[in-house]
Amino acid sequence: MLPAVVQPPSKGLARAALALTVLVLAVAGVGCPCQGLVNVSPGLRWWLFSNFGASRMCPEMMKSGVPLRLQDRSPAIGRFYVNGCTYNVDDARQIVQVNVSGTGYAYLAPAKRVGFQLSVSAEYRADFLLAGDDAYIWAKLNRVVAGPSFQLGYVENRVVDLAANIPPFGSLANFLGNQVVSGELVRGFTVVHNDGGDDFTLGLLQPPQKPHHPFEVKDSDRFTFANETVEIRSNQRDFLGPFEVPKGDQALYLSFQLQSAAPLGVYVVDKRTGDVWREGYQTGQPLGPAPGTVYASGPIRPGVPDSRRYALQPGQYYVVLDNAAAAAGGLSALPAMILGSDPGAVVSYVAQVGE
């Protein structure tokens, strides 16, 4: 595991509250004695969020996949991608209702890879606190309004009884729908803003707590999309992102640390190609090459720190980590029946954009 973060990342819903944070800090920075007023005035806190933050929630939720974990700080085992999102602001009750739907994939023994669809509606109460040099912005779950409505699709191991109990998780559908996916979405989020940027985490942190990340990121002008650890079993993939390169003079920067017995393949594709590739992966189509242009590819070697820069045209790009037989010269996916077990690959990574 890598050292703690020095300059943590911005990600996902972090930007949903960025506008109101900038406004509050700008007012406080010019000498107005506003910190105490903002902290004690529920009406002002709600007005700031509902007018400057709520409208950003859906666009940001739809930008990249939500990592799915069995427990806090464990490697991600899959992702959920929001492809439909609406929100409603209720000024009388001071809540925001968010309605999301989407698809995803996860790996869970003995079913192996599964694909699914999910929709859920939840109410959040938005709040924030100025604590010294940090601003804590929260979306606190008020209640689940509808769902989760969960539907399993592809299941790699067809002999598994999806309705049966799988110790210690219960039924596979119940576990993925109610515990993993919905649990990540409805437990709220925290954004910690300071001079170093914005750090996002699911769940609610209280000052002076800070989000945990596997990679140390040095101070720089780069924007950090993601800083996490993922687990990829044999003949499986993970679709990171998509990450946006907004300008022609910027590049995508990636750093990896791989724990595995063999190399792992990495591919960079544009969003259109990645969406088609991911859809085929989570619906159980045969593993194959990218259905479009691959802008960069190559192996990640175990135990060797790996940093790379990709000069790309403005656009959105997936970074695909591939533990399938075709990756890394066919070395990374010897069948589990030959090895006697499937330890998979654990990789920590950080994804950034900058000049």
pLDDT at position 193, please? Answer: 72
Q: CA angle 269-67-90, nearest 5°?
A: 110
- How large a percentage of the chain has pLDDT more than 90? 37
Residue 242: is the preceding peptide bond cis (ω within 30°)?
yes
Q: Are residues 165 and 67 in the same domain?
A: yes
Task: Provide the residue type at 59 as one letter.
Answer: P
Q: Is residue 270 part of a domain?
A: yes
Q: How many domains does the chain have?
A: 2
β-pair partners for 165 = 171
Q: Are residues 109 and 242 in the same domain?
A: no
The per-residue pLDDT for range 272-309, each reduced to its tens digit, is 999 999 999 999 999 999 999 999 999 999 999 999 99
Q: Is residue 175 part of a domain?
A: yes
Q: Is residue 209 part of a domain?
A: no
pTM: 0.77
Q: Are residues 174 and 322 in the same domain?
A: no
pLDDT at position 39, please? Answer: 54
Q: Are residues 52 and 191 in the same domain?
A: yes
Out of 172, 202, 232, a domain closes at 202
Q: Is residue 2 part of a domain?
A: no
Q: Is residue 211 part of a domain?
A: no
Looking up tokens 């669809």 gives 117
Domain carrying residue 328 = 223-354
Please say whether the beta carbons of 348 and 1 come within 8 A: yes
Q: How far apart are CA 120 and CA 277, in angstroms?
A: 25
pLDDT tops 70 at residue 147: yes
The per-residue pLDDT for range 218-237, each reduced to its tens digit, is 656 788 888 899 999 999 99
Q: Are residues 196 and 49 in the same domain?
A: yes
Out of 151, 167, 202, a domain closes at 202
Q: Are residues 192 and 228 in the same domain?
A: no
Residue 340: pLDDT band with limits 50, 70, 90:
very low
pLDDT at position 308, please? Answer: 95
Q: What is the DSSP string of 200-260?
A: EEES---TT-----SS---S-SPEEEEEEEEEE-TT-EEEEEEEEE-STT-EEEEEEEEES
Q: Are residues 227 and 184 in the same domain?
A: no
Q: Of the given ranges (68-72, 78-82, 295-299), which has the lowest mean pLDDT?
A: 68-72
pLDDT tops 70 at residue 49: no
Identify the CATH number of the domain in which residue 239 sits.
Answer: 2.60.120.680
Q: Are residues 120 and 48 in the same domain?
A: yes
- How large a percentage of the chain has pLDDT more than 70? 72
Q: Is residue 213 part of a domain?
A: no
Contacts with 279 (C-beta within 8 Å, 6 or more apart), sequence order:
103
Task: Provide the residue type at 271 as one letter.
Answer: K
Q: Are residues 198 and 227 in the same domain?
A: no
pLDDT at position 163, please? Answer: 59
Q: Are residues 279 and 339 in the same domain?
A: yes
Q: In whole numbers, what is the pLDDT of the chain averaged over residues?
A: 77
Q: Are residues 136 and 51 in the same domain?
A: yes
Out of 167, 202, 237, a domain closes at 202
pLDDT at position 295, please? Answer: 97
Q: Which long-range contacts (CB under 8 A, 24 or more apart) does 160-163 make?
A: 160/110, 160/111, 162/111
Q: Of the given ranges (9-13, 73-77, 283-287, 343-347), which has the lowest mean pLDDT?
A: 9-13
pLDDT at position 108, please? Answer: 86
pLDDT at position 342, please? Answer: 62
Q: Is residue 3 part of a domain?
A: no
pLDDT at position 3, please? Answer: 37
Q: Are residues 149 and 238 in the same domain?
A: no
pLDDT tops 90 at residue 141: no
Q: Is residue 6 part of a domain?
A: no
Exposure of 280 by Cβ count < 10 A (0-12 exposed, 13-18 middle, 19+ buried)? middle
